[in-house]
Amino acid sequence: MAIVKTQVRTELLAITDIAKNTVLFSSELNVADVDEVCIQMYFAPNEAAVTPTKGTRFAIQTSPAPTGNEEWATLTNFVTALTAGTKFDADAVEPIGETVIAEATGTAGLVVGDLVFFDTPAGGTILDSQWREVVGLSANVSFTLDKGLKMATAIGDDIWRNAEKFSPVIAAACSRLRVLVDNNYIAGTAMNITAQVIALTTKWS
């Protein structure tokens, strides 16, 4: 008998701007009938010239109860780095699918391996924003992305460095799952951010 693998992608939190000192929850995911869940949590600064003394905490929470709000418990936490947001302006119109991004006005601080965030392209909405990894760099000329743009950029579009991504895989030994995005974690200085949470569930049958 063949073993069938079924996977379902669910966006628990659409790309959302989150103000400093704000806490919110993603939508809940029913995981009672799945074997494992991969959670992808994306983060980007959305405020320059602020050095945070407290990071943003992403807390994966589970509940054994099918309904209600009394049995949630934190399974694991991920906290972003204490790094000020740095913003570049797009130097050229870049079409959908482009991987080489012109940045002649300066690439200071950018290195291969960085995750960058293209924030709300002109003519688009926040849902057209996108995270991409830098896989190549020509200083003060351009940088190369791991995959092409899903939305064209315009001159002056905001590109943030110091973005982060957390992607744990957990066994789904519970009824429900959600993610707490805590931008008010401990005392100190926070900054405005942008976040997204995606779940990929796997079931074997």
Tens of pLDDT, residues 160-182: 999 999 999 998 778 999 999 99
Percent of the chain with pLDDT over 90: 82
d(CA 123, CA 86): 23
pLDDT above 80 for 36: yes
Q: What is the mean pLDDT of residues 22-39?
A: 95
d(CA 162, CA 11): 23
Q: State pTM to two decimals.
A: 0.93
Instruction: Tell me if 117 sits within 8 A of 130, measured CB to CB.
Output: yes
What is the number of structural domains in the chain? 2
d(CA 103, CA 139): 8
d(CA 45, CA 160): 7
pLDDT above 70 for 48: yes
pLDDT at 181: 98
For residues 27 and 120, membership in a common domain is answered with no
> Which residue range is the domain that position 91 belongs to?
86-162
β strands within 111-191, DSSP E: 115-119, 130-138, 142-145, 158-166, 169-171, 176-182
pLDDT at 167: 97
For residues 50 and 114, membership in a common domain is answered with no
